[in-house]
Amino acid sequence: MLKITISGVRGRVDEGLTPETVLDFARAFGTYLKGGKVVVGCDTRASGEYLKGIVFSGLLSCGCNVIDLGIATTPTVGIMTKHLKAKGGIVITASHNPNPWNGLKFISSDGLFLVPLEFEKMVKIYENKKFSERDKGTVAKFNHANRIHIDKVAKAIKRPRRRFTVVVDSCNGAGSVITPLLLKKLGCKVIAINTNMKLPFPHGPEPTPHNLKELSAAVIKNKADIGFAQDPDADRLSIVTSGGRAISEEYTVALCALYVRPKKIVINLSTSSLVDEVAAKINARVFRTKIGEIHVASEMKKIKAEIGGEGNGGVIYPKVGMNRDSLAGIGIILALLSESGKSIDQIVGELTEYFLAKDKLECQTVADAEKILEKTKEIFRNEKTDSTDGIKVYLKEGWIHLRASNTEPILRIFCEAKNEAQAQELLLGIKSKLL
């Protein structure tokens, strides 16, 4: 099965994501760009080099001049696309998906992912198979991307006044080299685990608390101040406190906002109310968008927001770049610890704990999904709702959000409350009303 969404293309290698599919998407992107300079990086999956050769072939056939970053994080590719004044960029990654998944993310000249209209134009070229054929392009290696990314993070924050002991778990992914280098630049004592890029992935690649037991143990063993976990392309960040507690990735954007103290924060509709709580503390205004990084980034650009992101641990900090960036998040959170003089346990302890329950409803057709959304609106007609993306209902106990999946014939359900039992009650309640 091939998944085509606003975030790019992904599938199981040699099944949904076949060599022909990868070649044609590279040719479609090259055709859409009308040739020119294109930056390419990949994460550490075994299929990365194999697919990179195919991507290069497609781009070269359209007259593109390829800048090869080798293994690079998604935010690094975004930063370098703009820095090198390229016409676009491609990241070969399936993000938090496990092996044997892989995929392609497409970046525009400003370092952001393609906006919906741009992406639709590129997909139409892919579907019509009307590819341009120009003089063959060139391939050149670029070896300074990590240094440039690290320097951007270091310049965007105040260098920590304390020498923190930090454990980082990069899941043997694209963050394995760049992240320890950043931490050393910030004056930290670094204990790096799971940074062998030849052996992806030592645990589930999504940086959720369930997958961070080894990191938690390493933080306790080394008496570290904090632990950081990344997904394979290092656009998402999770935290383990000095007490060894793996906290929800929903905390990441909220904690970063505490340091940045912005006037405007942009998050998606399913991100935790924790961000609203922090915004109230610092007198900031929260703007919510449809699900998807590009929707958040585009709104941030439009309203000149100082920070934003998504509840999956993805922080967008424009002073560094316009992609979700775990390295920017790491720098900001260390600066927060330094400026506050508090431990991460103390800071987290001062915030309300929210609980999120998730499920899905199978739908036969898009029309069926729309009927369920309309039924939800009718059930909650007397409550405050938001129809930006599906339907979100605000209740005294918390909130419920239903939205159609971009990749499957299902409706996703998110319910949040201030305790786990209430979150589950909201979930069971809405399912019983709809089924």
State the catalytic residue, choosing from 95, 108, 238, 270. Answer: 95
Q: What angle do CA 11, 65, 149 make, to 5 degrees?
A: 70
Sign of the dihedral through C-alpha 215, 220, 223, 227:
positive
Task: Report whether 329 contacts 320 (CB < 8 A).
Answer: no
User: Would residue 340 show up in a list of annotated catalytic residues for this protein?
Assistant: no
Whole-angstrom Cα distance, residue 310 to residue 314? 5
Whole-angstrom Cα distance, residue 432 to residue 270? 21
For residue 84, give both structure tokens: 């090198």
Contacts of 337-343 with C-beta under 8 Å, sequence gap 24+, read: 337/160, 337/162, 337/164, 337/225, 337/226, 338/158, 338/160, 338/161, 338/162, 338/164, 339/158, 339/259, 343/225, 343/241, 343/242
CA distances from 39 to 78, 92, 114, 138, 146 (A): 9, 11, 14, 12, 14
Q: Is 127 exposed, middle or buried (0-12, 13-18, 19+ CB in 10 A)?
A: exposed
Q: How many residues does the chain have?
A: 435
The secondary structure of residue 217, as a DSSP letter, is H
- Rounded to a whole number of angstroms, the distance between the first and last alpha carbons of the chain is 28
Residue whose token pair is 């959170």: 333
CA distances from 411 to 206, 209, 291, 345, 369 (A): 21, 25, 13, 36, 7
Give SS3 for 25: helix
Task: Report whether 149 contacts 76 (CB < 8 A).
Answer: yes
Annotated catalytic residues are 95
